[in-house]
Amino acid sequence: MWLLTILAIAAVIGIHLWWRRKFAALSGQRAAEIEASHRRQQQTNVDAKAQQQILFNSMIEGLLLLDRTQKIYLANRAFKNLFGLKIELRGKTILEALRLHELDDLVKRVQAEGQVFDYELKLPDLSERWLRVNAAVISNSAGEREGTILVFHDLTRLKQLERTREEFVANVSHELRTPLSLIKGYVETLLDGARNNPDVAERFLKIIERNTNRLDLLIQDLLTISALESGRIKLNLQPVELRQLAGKVFTDLHARAENKNVSLINELPELTASADANRLDQVFANLVDNAIKYGRASGAVKIGGKKLEDGRLEIFVRDDGPGIPPEALDRVFERFYRVDKARSRDQGGTGLGLSIVKHIVQAHGGEVRAESETGKGATFFFTLPESKMG
Per-residue x/- track, 278-297, ligand ADP (CB under 6 A): --------x---xx--x---
Name all contacts of 350-353 with Cβ < 8 Å and 24+ positions apart. Answer: 350/175, 350/214, 350/217, 350/218, 350/221, 351/171, 351/175, 352/218, 352/221, 352/222, 352/224, 352/225, 353/221, 353/286, 353/289, 353/290
Selected binder of ligand ADP within 205, 338, 371, 385 (CB under 6 A): 338
Phi-psi region of 178 (alpha: psi -120 to 50; beta: other; left: phi over 0): alpha
d(CA 270, CA 265): 15
d(CA 320, CA 327): 19
Residues contacting ligand ADP: total by CB under 6 A: 21
CB atoms inside a 10 Å sphere around CB 99: 10
Cβ(90)–Cβ(72) below 8 Å: yes
Going by the DSSP 8-state scheme, the letter that residue 125 receives in this structure is: S
Counting contacts by CB under 6 A, is residue 253 touching ligand ADP?
Answer: no
In this structure, which amino acid lies at residue 4? L
The secondary element (H helix, E strand) that includes residue 323 is none
Among the residues of 64-197, which ranges form H helices? 77-83, 94-98, 101-113, 156-191
Selected binder of ligand ADP within 62, 147, 179, 353 (CB under 6 A): 353
Counting contacts by CB under 6 A, is residue 262 touching ligand ADP?
Answer: no
Query: In the complex with ligand ADP, which residue's Cβ is closer, 79 or 336?
Result: 336
Q: How far is the CB of 291 from ligand ADP (least distance, A)?
A: 5
Counting contacts by CB under 6 A, is residue 123 touching ligand ADP?
Answer: no
Segment lying near ligand ADP (by CB under 6 A), choices 48-56, 123-131, 342-350, 381-389: 342-350
Query: In the complex with ligand ADP, which residue's Cβ is closer, 45 or 298?
Result: 298
Counting contacts by CB under 6 A, is residue 340 touching ligand ADP?
Answer: yes
Give ∠ CA 255-259-262 in degrees, rounded to 5. 90
Counting contacts by CB under 6 A, is residue 215 touching ligand ADP?
Answer: no
Per-residue x/- track, 309-328, ligand ADP (CB under 6 A): ----------x-x--x----
Q: How far is the CB of 256 from ligand ADP (least distance, A)?
A: 13
Query: In the complex with ligand ADP, which residue's Cβ is closer, 62 or 321?
Result: 321
Counting contacts by CB under 6 A, is residue 305 touching ligand ADP?
Answer: no
Q: Which residues bind ligand ADP (CB under 6 A)?
A: 286, 290-291, 294, 319, 321, 324, 332, 337-340, 344, 349-355, 378
